[in-house]
């Protein structure tokens, strides 16, 4: 069994932000996974989607689900992350005032993804974009 | 809040002088936990291990709904009767989150629920 989904994400479009994550959550709920795993995937994917909307011009989220894991690759075109170590620190944020008014921008996005992912890879080039690769295994019991 | 009891939808409506905005009224609906927050990332970070939870907030955008969806929050209480766009109510009905609007401040709404869930004498 392998399920593949692909979603286009538009930078700055907060009205539609979360649609992709909502759809992915619906798909994984149908697989009979534990609520804890569903929540881990939903939170990681949603934070990644919001990151694109909040910081990038556009992005593509590709999701592959097989019998062992959910793997999500998010490629965005945008300003990139100059210092990934800094961006991974809780509280560090470059979000705009508009994004903060929406309730985001507290510098929790990437740390939250790392907290929920079993594996997280980040590649970024300044003024080009960022790639996140998030993997969550279904049989892991790591507490979050 | 730790739970001593649970609050069904009718009682929640009565407690908060509230209006139910969504059509959805699951027969087994009840809450036994409350989160008050304006910071969506905080909810995503700290609301992972809760069930039957209501979120009390003054945020009225689509993202408060999506955030609630991701962490399985069952109900959103909008404080001070903030106007809610119909598109948000429609999404809530679709994804199964009960929306409630009340005239109280976040502080007073949370206080009334706290008093119901944690009767006097059990306060810590």
The string of pLDDT tens digits covering residues B81-118 is 999 999 999 999 999 999 999 999 999 999 999 999 98
The residue with greater pLDDT, B120 or B97, is B97
Query: CA of B84 to nearest chain A CA: how many angstroms apart?
Result: 14
Contact A63, A113 (CB under 8 A): no
The residue with greater pLDDT, A62 or A103, is A62
Backbone angles phi, psi at A28, to 5 degrees: -70, -25
Q: What is the rounded distance in angstroms from the CA atom of residue A33 to the CA atom of residue A69?
A: 11
Neighbours of A86 (CB within 10 A): 11
Pick from A18, A105, A112: which is nearest to B45 by CB?
A112
What value does the mean pLDDT take over residues B11-32? 92
What value does the mean pLDDT take over residues B30-54? 88
Q: What is the rounded distance in angstroms from the CA atom of residue B54 to the CA atom of residue B30?
A: 9
Fold designation for B7-117: 3.40.1390
Residues of B with CB under 8 A from a CB of A: 38-42, 44-45, 48, 59, 61-67, 69-72, 95
* Contact flag A112-B40 (C-beta cutoff 8 Å): no
At residue A90, the pLDDT reads: 82
Output the six-digit token pair for A67: 């019998």
Determine what percent of chain B is predicted with pLDDT higher than 70.
94
Backbone angles phi, psi at B76, to 5 degrees: -115, 130
At residue A143, the pLDDT reads: 47
What value does the mean pLDDT take over residues A134-144? 75
* Contact flag A15-B62 (C-beta cutoff 8 Å): yes
**What residue spans define the domains of chain B?**
7-117
Distance of CA A19 to the CA centre of its chain: 13
Q: What is the rounded distance in angstroms from the CA atom of residue B15 to the CA atom of residue A54?
A: 37
- Greatest alpha-carbon pair distance for chain A in Å reads 44
At residue B70, the pLDDT reads: 95
Determine what percent of chain A is predicted with pLDDT higher than 70.
97
Residue B51's closest chain A neighbor by CA? A35
Quick one: pLDDT band at residue A98, thresholds 50, 70, 90? Answer: confident
* Contact flag B38-A103 (C-beta cutoff 8 Å): yes
Query: CA of B40 to nearest chain A CA: how many angstroms apart?
Result: 5
Q: Which SS3 state, helix, strand or coil, does residue A135 take?
A: strand
- The set of residues, in sequence order, having a beta carbon less than 8 Å from that of A143 and lying 6+ positions away, is none
Q: What is the rounded distance in angstroms from the CA atom of residue A125 to the CA atom of residue A143?
A: 32
Half-sphere exposure of A130 (CA within 13 A, CB side): 24
Residue B66's closest chain A neighbor by CA? A18
What value does the mean pLDDT take over residues B36-59? 88
Output the six-digit token pair for A126: 């300044």
Residue B58's closest chain A neighbor by CA? A103
At residue A140, the pLDDT reads: 63
pTM of the model: 0.89
Supply angle C-alpha A68, A73, A75, rounded to 5.
180
Query: CA of B120 to nearest chain A CA: how many angstroms apart?
Result: 33
Contacts with A25 from chain B: Cβ below 8 Å: 69-70
What value does the mean pLDDT take over residues A5-11? 97
Report strand pairing: B75-78 vs B53-57.
parallel
**Range of weakest confidence among A2-6, A14-18, A139-143, B59-63:** A139-143
Distance of CA B120 to the CA centre of its chain: 22
Q: Which SS3 state, helix, strand or coil, does residue A120 take?
A: strand
Supply angle C-alpha B38, B28, B68, rounded to 5.
20
At residue B4, the pLDDT reads: 56
Contact B74, B55 (CB under 8 A): no
Query: CA of B16 to nearest chain A CA: how many angstroms apart?
Result: 24
Q: How far is CA A36 from CA A9, A141, B92, B111, in A?
A: 26, 9, 22, 30
Check whether A107 has a pLDDT greater than 80. no
The residue with greater pLDDT, B105 or A98, is B105
Quick one: pLDDT band at residue B124, thresholds 50, 70, 90? Answer: low
* Contact flag B63-A42 (C-beta cutoff 8 Å): no
Check whether A18 has a pLDDT greater than 90. yes
At residue B8, the pLDDT reads: 95
Give chain B's mean pLDDT: 90
**Range of weakest confidence among A10-24, A121-135, B2-16, B79-93:** B2-16
* Contact flag B61-A102 (C-beta cutoff 8 Å): yes
Output the six-digit token pair for A54: 């909040």
Where does residue A45 rank: exposed (0-12), middle (13-18), buried (19+ CB within 10 A)?
A: buried
Contacts with B62 from chain A: Cβ below 8 Å: 14-15, 17-18
Contact B95, B75 (CB under 8 A): no
């Amino acid at each position: 069994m392998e399920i593949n989904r692909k979603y286009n994400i538009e930078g700055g479009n907060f009205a539609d932000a979360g649609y992709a994550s909502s759809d992915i959550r619906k798909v994984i709920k149908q697989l009979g996974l534990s609520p804890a795993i569903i929540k881990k995937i939903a939170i990681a994917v949603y934070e990644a989607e919001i990151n694109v909307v909040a910081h990038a011009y556009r992005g593509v989220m590709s999701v592959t689900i097989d019998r062992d894991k959910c793997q999500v690759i998010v490629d965005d075109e945008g300003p990139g992350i100059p210092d990934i170590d800094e961006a991974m620190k809780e509280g560090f944020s470059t979000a705009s005032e508009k994004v903060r008014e929406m309730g985001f921008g507290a510098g929790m996005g990437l740390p939250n993804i790392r907290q929920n992912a079993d594996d997280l890879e980040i590649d970024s080039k300044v003024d080009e974009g960022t790639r996140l690769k998030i993997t969550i295994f279904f049989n892991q019991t790591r507490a979050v | 809040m730790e739970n001593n009891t649970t609050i069904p939808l009718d009682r929640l409506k009565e407690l908060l002088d509230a209006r139910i905005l969504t059509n959805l009224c699951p027969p087994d609906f009840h809450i036994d936990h409350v989160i008050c927050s304006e910071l969506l990332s905080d909810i995503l970070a700290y609301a992972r291990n809760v069930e039957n939870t209501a979120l009390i907030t003054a945020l009225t955008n689509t993202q408060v709904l999506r955030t609630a969806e991701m962490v399985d929050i069952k109900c959103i209480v909008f404080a001070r009767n903030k106007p809610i766009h119909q598109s948000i109510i429609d999404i809530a009905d679709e994804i199964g989150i009960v929306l409630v609007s009340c005239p109280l401040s976040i502080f007073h709404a949370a206080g009334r629920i706290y008093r119901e869930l944690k009767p006097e004498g059990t306060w810590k």
